[in-house]
Amino acid sequence: YFGEGVESLSCTGMATICNMGAEIGATTSVFPYTASMGRYLSATQRADIAQAADAQQAGYLSADAQVKADPAKYYDQIIEVDLDKLEPGYNGPFTPDLYTARSKMSDQVAKEGWTDKVSAALIGSCTNSSYQDLSRAASLARQASKHGIKVAEGTEFLVSPGSEQICATMERDGIQSAFEAIGAKVLANACGPCIGQWNRDENPVVKNREMNSIVSSFNRNFRARNDGNPNTLNFLTSPEMVLSAALSGRLSFNPLTDSLTAADGSKFKLEPPAGNELPTEGYAAGRAEYRPLLEHKPGMAIPIAPTSQRLQSLEAFKPWDGQEFKDTRVLVTVQGKCTTDHISAAGKWLKYKGHLENLARNTLIGAANAALDGKVNWVRNAVDGLEPAEGTIPDVATAYKNSGVPWLVIADYNYGEGSAREHAAMQPRFLGCNMVVARSFARIHETNLKKQGVLPLVFARPDEDYFLFTKNPHELVVRTEGVKDISDSTPTVSLIVDRVQGGKVVESRTIVCNHTMSADQIGWFKAGSALNLIASQQK
């Protein structure tokens, strides 16, 4: 990022841009060092780093003069963002990159049939709940209190501070009391509602899977992520916009033009939010707790109760046998968006993070099956006589695992976007997945699959070959050519796909796929996982 607008941004504001940029594909973002970064470093007991950076700013921590003078000469593409014209808005539902400007939201709600009533308004995230964010939102809360109103009836307002320091500072500076005065509940400094960790199971809209709308300053909003209800419409926005939605109780409310009703019946408009970039009295330390590590010796046994449903010793995955894959069945052909939330749901499942076998019971439960008109979490068993004949994806995958049947996943575009969730790769591997073949991958998930010894492949002709697997994929038996000699200099692997009916091969196709395995990653694959390789090297 460069330009005169950069100098107007706070350090935490730039952090939010970097963080949320990753949600729409900008996996790496770089800002030049600015005065606001120096102020932030000093405010967080790192003045020595700020001084060192100040000394190097001109030479190393800002764009070169010739780049500023003629950026088109140095960049492949330049996107101009005019901060004076940038309009507040909402992103969603179900994806963080679907933007609707604030002034267009009322029309869009009517056009799309979205529920206008806001059932929950959530301020939180490690990044989007900085002191500046919260102080600006609190200024709106104080305006509401001045006019004698609280959050709208039927709207739940929850605040998750971004850190222990932020929590302590907002309490000291009256921000927390400003929120609580209008009906907020302040939650723990944690992911909370973003990954389904909030008490919403008894809410009728969740129990009955009703369509409802929530607004959030958290980072992601994939279907069913927040509460397990696929009909919860989650819209991402700034903390200030969350607050305005909480007060009005409506998605269609535009704080720039619409009025609220005061306790005395008069109408008033919210003044633009105002807040401090940094706390004037510095950050409060919060609770300074440290729990020292237990004494640990190599080879020390860690006792885990065999009846535990929360903890289970992790067994190493088997190394690759050095041969081509054969007799591999297609578990599911995934249709459309399939994020790491679809592959490994959070919420109530998080209690099993230390028990891979139990956690694997949620594998791909959010995936839509292209062979069954998009039916979610339901597949046909490809092996005659193996029960269940059809069932949930984890049930059929477990049946394959128990019978020694290898399987693969066929995936659509951008498979595995979202959280960098290791279990979204570990669970399929645990259940016997040897390959995921996609039209394209989200970069981090592709790497995670490699780490767990699963081979990620991309169709060479994604707009043609994917559709072979959408018609009765339970009839298909797959073997490979090229895995045995896989290397970073031979980036292709072929799939030999036989369609078997009545015990006879009625059709055979060769599908060319590409891989991006580096030499190091091939080492992981051969060892069975990256951890296996590291362990063998340590020996």
Q: Determine the pLDDT at residue 201.
A: 77
Q: Identify the helix (H) or strand (E) that includes residue 21.
A: helix 11-21
Buried b (16+ CB within 10 A) or exposed e, 428-464: bbbbbbbbbbbbebbebbbbbbbbbbbbbbbbeebee
Beta strands in 275-377 (DSSP E): 328-333, 368-369, 375-376
Nearest to 160 by CA among 149, 173, 176: 176
Do 245 and 251 touch, CB atoms closer than 8 A? Answer: yes
Q: pTM to 2 decimals?
A: 0.84
Tens of pLDDT, residue by residue over 112-165, are 999 999 999 999 887 788 999 999 999 999 999 999 999 999 999 999 998 889
Q: Determine the pLDDT at residue 77.
A: 94
Q: What percent of the chain has a predicted confidence (pLDDT) above 70? A: 100
Tens of pLDDT, residue by residue over 326-376, are 999 999 999 999 999 999 998 889 899 999 999 999 999 999 999 999 999
DSSP string, 102-159: GGGHHHHHHHHT---BEEEEEE--SSS--HHHHHHHHHHHHHHHHTT--SPTT-EEEE
CA dist 101 → 29, 251, 276 (Å): 24, 12, 26
pLDDT band at 223 (very low <50, low <70, confident <90, very high): confident
Question: Does the structure show a pLDDT above 90 at 26?
Answer: no
Cα–Cα distance measured from residue 370 to residue 412, given in angstroms and rounded to the nearest whole number: 10
Tens of pLDDT, residue by residue over 49-80, are 999 999 998 889 998 889 889 999 999 999 99
Q: Which of 205-209, 241-245, 324-328, 375-379 has the lowest mean pLDDT?
A: 205-209
Tens of pLDDT, residue by residue over 438-483, are 999 998 999 999 999 999 999 999 999 999 999 999 999 999 999 9
Q: Determine the pLDDT at residue 463.
A: 94
Q: Determine the pLDDT at residue 206.
A: 87
Q: Determine the pLDDT at residue 35.
A: 95
The end-to-end CA distance of the chain, in Å, is: 46
Question: Does the structure show a pLDDT above 90 at 520?
Answer: yes
Q: Which of 20-34, 53-67, 375-389 has the lowest mean pLDDT?
A: 20-34
Query: Which residues does 229 contact at the CB level (< 8 Å), separation at least 6?
Result: 205, 206, 209, 210, 212
Tens of pLDDT, residue by residue over 270-285, are 999 999 999 999 999 8
pLDDT band at 20 (very low <50, low <70, confident <90, very high): confident
Question: Does the structure show a pLDDT above 90 at 295?
Answer: no
Tens of pLDDT, residue by residue over 398-443, are 999 999 999 999 999 999 998 778 999 999 999 999 999 999 999 8
Q: What angle do CA 181, 186, 191 make, to 5 degrees?
A: 150
How high does pLDDT run on average in the chain?
94
What's the Rg (C-alpha) of the chain? 26
Rounded to an integer, the average pLDDT of 514-537 is 97
Tens of pLDDT, residue by residue over 162-175, are 888 999 999 999 99
Q: Determine the pLDDT at residue 160.
A: 92
Q: Determine the pLDDT at residue 107.
A: 96
Q: Determine the pLDDT at residue 276.
A: 95
Q: What percent of the chain has a predicted confidence (pLDDT) above 90? A: 80
Neighbours of 514 (CB within 10 A): 13
Rounded to an integer, the average pLDDT of 23-41 is 90
pLDDT band at 291 (very low <50, low <70, confident <90, very high): confident
Tens of pLDDT, residue by residue over 184-199, are 999 988 888 888 888 8
Q: Determine the pLDDT at residue 194.
A: 87
Crossing angle of the two packed helices 131-146 and 239-248, in degrees rounded to 10: 20
Q: Determine the pLDDT at residue 51.
A: 96
Q: Determine the pLDDT at residue 348.
A: 86
